[in-house]
Amino acid sequence: MTMMMPKGQKRKLSIEEEASDYRAPTWESQQQFLLTVSLNKYQFSQQLREPSLRRSVLIANTLRQISLQMSMVPSVNVEVSEPPGIASSALTASIAAAAKRHSAVTVDSCSALATCPMVSLNYSPNSTEKTNYSSESNFHISIEDDEDWGSMSTDTDSSLSAVISSILAALDSTIDGNPQPAPRIPLRPLENMSKPYEGSVALVNHGLRDPGDCREQQEDGSMEVMRSSYLGDFTVEDLFQDIDTSLVDIDMGVIGHRSTEGGHTAGDDLFMYLPPFSPHSPFSPHSITPTSQNAQPALIGQLA
Amino acid sequence: MLSPIQVLCSDITTLSLEPEPFASYTEADIISTVEFNHTGELLATGDKGGRVVIFQREPESKTEPFSQGEYNVYSTFQSHEPEFDYLKSLEIEEKINKIRWLPQQNAAHFLLSTNDKTIKLWKVSERDKRPEGYNLKDEEGRIKDISTVTSLQVPVLKPMDLMVEVTPRRVFANAHTYHINSISVNSDYETYMSADDLRINLWHLDITDRSFNIVDIKPANMEDLTEVITAAEFHPHHCNLFVYSSSKGTLRLCDMREAALCDKHSKLFEEPEDPSARSFFSEIISSVSDVKFSHSGRYLLTRDYLTAKVWDLNMESKPLETYQVHDYLRSKLCSLYENDCIFDKFECAWNGSDSVIMTGAYNNFFRMFDRNTKRDVTLEASRESSKPRAVLKPRRVCAAGGKRRKDDISVDSLDFTKKILHTAWHPNENIIAIAATNNLYIFQDKLNSEMH
C-alpha cells in the first residue's frame, strides 16, 4: 500500500492492529506514534492555504483522546520529583487533573498560550534505542540512561491539554476573522543533530531569554526530543531566529532537564511545537522579555 | 422485482468518456461535484478550477440505435474565480464544492453552484432564433444611413445555430465565515440553505443581501469545539424539515416550525458505539461525509469512512441497514490516518426507486448495494476497463495473503490516490455518473433502462 510518509521517518513497528492492552509495548508505541503524527498533521495544516476546520477538529479530538488515555494508564502516574519552589506546579497539577476529568480542557486561552509548553516527542527511529525503555515511562529514551523521564508523562498530559486548547483558540483567531490574523509560523525543522544538544544553552545563546529569568532548570523540565529528519535541514539557530518572544515570557523550565548542575543537559534533537499564536489573546501577567525583534512569536511556557 | 445489481453487472455499458486521454492533468481539472438535474436530461460537473461543465443527453434516435442517450457537452462556463480575503490573508479557493439544480419552471434551467464562501445562481438558456430585418441596423449591426431607408419592415425571427447562454442571476456572498460544504434547495422552490462547518443559513432565491441563520453550533469558546457540520439537506417533500450531519457521526433532523433557530434538534440519529471496536480512530471514521434523503423522504442514507447506512426517519436509535463499503481497510486505519486518506469525504447516492444505493471507494472502485436482495457489487471506473460499449466486470478485493482468484486485487495493491468521491444517479433511469479524479464516466444499464 502506498503510504505518504514524511521523508526519513521510519516507523518503529509495523502497526496493523490496535492492541487494547495498555501495557503492551505495541499499544504504547502506537500511541506515541499517533501523537507524533497528529502534531505533525496539525503543523502541516497550518501551512495549507486554508485549514480545514473539520480536519483540525478531528485531529484535535484524537490528541485529546491520546492525552486522556495517557492520563488513565496507571503506569503513567509516576512520582514527579519537583523542587519545592516551582510556581507553576499548582497550575500544572490543576490542568492535569482537569484533563483527566474532562476530555476537553477549557483553559483560558491566555493561560494556555502563556503556559503552553514545548511539546516534544521522543521518536527514536532506531530499533536499538527501543530497548532503552524505562519501566516507569511509556516513552522511549534517546539520551543518556541517567536521565529519568518518568516525570514527563504527567507533564505531557497537561502539555497536550494546553496544546489542544491553543490549537482551537488559534483556529478561532485565524478563521473567525480577527482584525489581525494569527501569523502562521512555518515550523522550521531541526536538522538531525549528531551531537548531544544542549537545548537551553542554544536558547540562551540567541538571547531569547535573560539568564536571570531561567527559573526551573532542574528536575521538573521534561522534554523529549523527536528525531524527525523529514523536517529538513534547518538548524536550531534558524528555528529560534523566527521566534519573537516579545510577548511571551520564556520560561526555561520547560527546556531544562534534570541535572545536577546548571540545568544544561545533553539531549538529542529538539522539536518544538509552536502552535499559531494570536497576538491579541490576553496573556497572564508574566514579565515579557523582548529579545529578537523580527521573529515570529513563540509559545514557550513554563511547565513545572 | 428486478434485481438491478445483477443486470448491471452483466450489461452495464459505457456511454461516454472525457475525450483525449491525458497523460497528466492539472489539478484544476479534478472534478469536485456531479449532479443530475430533476429530469436527468442534464448533468453538471464542477471542478477545482471553478468551472462548471453541463452535459446534455441526446434524444434517442430510432435510426441510430447505438447513439441512444449519450451525454455530450452542452455548455461550459467559469462559475467561480479564486479570491483573496485580505482581512484574514487567506486565499479563497475557486473549487466548486456543490451544484444543485432548481426544478425547471420554464424553458430555462437554473442551478446553484458554490465554492467555500459564495453561492451563485446561474441561468442556462438556449437561443436558437434571432431577429433579422431591422430597419435601422444592417445585418452586421452597423447603423444604416437613414437616407437609404425607403420602406419599413417588421423584423422576423429566423432560426440560428443553437447557442447556450449561461448568465449569473444572483450572487449570495458574505454569509459564511467557514467553508460551505452543502447547499440544498427546498421543496417550496423559493428557499434554499447553505451549510458551513458551524452554521447553516436559509436564503430566499430572490434575495441576496440577507439570509437567516437557522443552525449555529459554534461554541462560545472555540477551545470547546469538538464537532462540526459535515453535510445538510432539506427533506424532499416537507419544506419545514431538514437534516444535518456532524463529524461525530450524528444526524439531526430539525423542524423549522419549532423555532427560528434550530439548534435544538427534533430527532437525533446516532448509533451507539461498540465498545469492543473502540480505537483512536473511532471518531474519525464515524464522521459522516454525506447525507441524502431517499426520494420517498422516508429514509436517510449516510456515508462514513467505512460504511454506508440507511436510517429510517422513525427510528433514531440505530440505522436500519449498514453496508460495509471497504471493511478491509479497518486494519489499515493507522496508515490511512498517516497519509490523510482517513479524512476523505465520500458521497453516496440513491437510485430513483430507493432500492439501490451507491458510493465510491479507492482504486477507482465504486460499490452498489441492493437493499432488497442484499447483494452488492464492486465496479471499477477506469479507462482500461471502460471502453465504450464495454461491459463492466465486477471486481473483488481480497485480504492480503488471502485466497486470491484471478483478477482479484489485494488490499496492499490498492491505489489510494485514485478515489471516487463523487457519484450521481439518474433520477429515473439506471444511469450513473462517476467522477474519477479528472475523468467523468457515465454508465448505463442497457437491458433495464427503466427503474423498477
Give the pLDDT band (50/70/90) at residue A169: low
Q: Is residue B451 one of the residues assigned to a domain? A: no
Do B287 and A179 make contact, defined as CB atoms within 8 angstroms? no
Q: Which of A15-29, A235-249, B368-382 has the highest mean pLDDT?
A: B368-382
Give the pLDDT band (50/70/90) at residue A206: very low
Give the pLDDT band (50/70/90) at residue B323: very high
As a whole number of Å, the end-to-end CA separation of chain A is 43
pLDDT(A268) > 50: no
Residue in B with minimal Cα distance to A19 = B279
Mean pLDDT of B398-424: 86
Long-range contacts of B409-417, Cβ-Cβ distance < 8 Å, separation of 24 or more: B409/B363, B411/A1, B411/B328, B411/B329, B411/B332, B412/A1, B413/A1, B414/A1, B414/B362, B414/B363, B415/A2, B415/B362, B415/B363, B415/B364, B416/A1, B416/A2, B416/B336, B416/B339, B416/B341, B416/B362, B416/B363, B417/A2
Looking at residue B50, its pLDDT comes to 96
Q: Of A252-256, B41-45, B222-226, B257-261, where does mean pLDDT reach its minimum?
A: A252-256
Q: Which of A115-119, A159-163, B43-47, B68-72 has the highest mean pLDDT?
A: B43-47
Chain B residues within 8 A of A52 when measuring between CB atoms: 179, 343
Higher pLDDT, A3 or B170: B170
Mean pLDDT of B46-61: 91
Q: Which of A142-156, A236-250, A252-266 has the highest mean pLDDT?
A: A236-250
Do B223 and A169 make contact, defined as CB atoms within 8 angstroms? yes
Looking at residue B382, its pLDDT comes to 85
Looking at residue B326, its pLDDT comes to 95
Q: Is residue B448 one of the residues assigned to a domain? A: no
Looking at residue B159, its pLDDT comes to 92
Mean pLDDT of B247-264: 93
- Measured in degrees and rounded to the nearest 5, phi and psi for residue B284 equal -65, -45
Mean pLDDT of B20-28: 65
Q: Of A190-194, B179-183, B210-214, B444-448, where does mean pLDDT reach its minimum?
A: A190-194
Do A18 and B334 make contact, defined as CB atoms within 8 angstroms? yes
pLDDT(A240) > 60: no
Residue of B95, B304, B334 to mutate, interface with A, max A Cβ within 10 Å: B334
Higher pLDDT, B236 or A268: B236
DSSP-derived letter for residue B273 is P
B280 → closest Cβ in A34, A105, A174: A34
Q: Is residue B277 one of the residues assigned to a domain? A: yes
Residue in A with minimal Cα distance to B416 = A2
A175 → closest Cβ in B177, B223, B227: B177
d(CA B206, CA B204): 5
Q: Which of A269-278, B12-21, B183-192 has the highest mean pLDDT?
A: B183-192
Q: Determine the distance in angstroms separating the CA of A272 from the nearest CA of chain B, rounded to an integer.
A: 20
Mean pLDDT of B14-20: 47
**Is the Cα torsion angle B366, B370, B371, B375 positive or negative in sign?**
negative
Q: Is residue B104 one of the residues assigned to a domain? A: yes
C-alpha pair distances (Å), A167 with each of A98, A105, A173, A246, A276: 17, 12, 10, 21, 7
B339 → closest Cβ in A4, A169, A175: A4
Give the pLDDT band (50/70/90) at residue A74: low
Chain A residues within 8 A of B412 when measuring between CB atoms: 1
Residue in A with minimal Cα distance to B89 = A181
Average pLDDT, chain A: 49
What pLDDT digit, counting tens, does each position of B412-424 carry?
A: 899 999 999 999 9
pLDDT(A270) > 50: no
Chain A residues within 8 A of B177 when measuring between CB atoms: 175-177
C-alpha pair distances (Å), B315 with each of A61, B129, B243: 28, 55, 14
Residue in A with minimal Cα distance to B92 = A50
Interface of B with A in 337-376 (CB under 8 A): 337-340, 343
Q: For chain A, what is the radius of gyration of the CA atoms?
A: 18
Q: Is residue B390 one of the residues assigned to a domain? A: yes
Residue of A18, A106, A164 to mutate, interface with B, max B Cβ within 10 Å: A18
Query: Model-level pTM?
Result: 0.67
Looking at residue A27, its pLDDT comes to 76
Higher pLDDT, A59 or B88: A59
Residue B233 touches chain A, beta carbons under 8 Å = no
pLDDT(B352) > 50: yes
Higher pLDDT, A102 or B360: B360
- Which domain covers residue B180, as residue numbers? 3-443
Looking at residue A285, its pLDDT comes to 41
Q: What is the CATH number of the domain that holds B355?
A: 2.130.10.10
Give the pLDDT band (50/70/90) at residue B12: very low
pLDDT(A32) > 70: yes
Give the pLDDT band (50/70/90) at residue A70: confident
Q: Is residue B449 one of the residues assigned to a domain? A: no
Looking at residue A229, its pLDDT comes to 41
Q: Is residue B176 one of the residues assigned to a domain? A: yes
Mean pLDDT of A252-276: 41
Residue B220 touches chain A, beta carbons under 8 Å = no
Amino acid at site A7: K
B225 → closest Cβ in A4, A103, A168: A168
Whether the CB-CB separation of B222 and A176 falls below 8 Å is answered with yes
Average pLDDT, chain B: 89
Length of chain B: 452
Do A57 and B90 make contact, defined as CB atoms within 8 angstroms? no
Q: Is residue B452 one of the residues assigned to a domain? A: no
Strand blocks (E) in B174-288: 182-185, 191-195, 199-204, 207-216, 229-234, 241-246, 251-255, 267-269
pLDDT(A18) > 70: no
Residue given cell 527511529 in the structure block: A125
Do A3 and B335 make contact, defined as CB atoms within 8 angstroms? yes
Residue B86 touches chain A, beta carbons under 8 Å = no
A3 → closest Cβ in B88, B179, B339: B339
d(CA B221, CA B219): 5
pLDDT(A243) > 50: yes
Whether the CB-CB separation of B366 and B358 falls below 8 Å is answered with yes
pLDDT(A299) > 60: no
Looking at residue B84, its pLDDT comes to 87
Q: Which ipTM was obtained for this model?
A: 0.88
Looking at residue B140, its pLDDT comes to 81
Q: Which of A47-51, A109-113, A241-245 has the highest mean pLDDT?
A: A47-51
d(CA B317, CA B384): 44
Residue in B with minimal Cα distance to A37 = B338
d(CA B99, CA B114): 7
Instruction: Return the C-alpha cell found at B276.
Output: 469492543
Do B223 and A106 make contact, defined as CB atoms within 8 angstroms? yes
Chain A residues within 8 A of B182 when measuring between CB atoms: none
Domain count, chain B: 1
Percent of chain B with pLDDT over 90: 70
Looking at residue B376, its pLDDT comes to 94
Residue in B with minimal Cα distance to A113 = B223
Do A16 and B334 make contact, defined as CB atoms within 8 angstroms? yes
Give the pLDDT band (50/70/90) at residue B442: very high
Interface of B with A in 234-253 (CB under 8 A): 247
Higher pLDDT, B158 or A75: B158
Percent of chain A with pLDDT over 90: 3
Instruction: Return the C-alpha cell found at A215.
Output: 527559573
Q: Which of A30-39, A45-54, B94-103, B135-144 has the highest mean pLDDT?
A: B94-103
Q: Which secondary structure element, helix H or strand E, spans residue B443, and what is its range?
A: strand B439-445
Compute the half-sphere exposure of residue B43: CA atoms within 13 Å on the CB side of its CA: 28
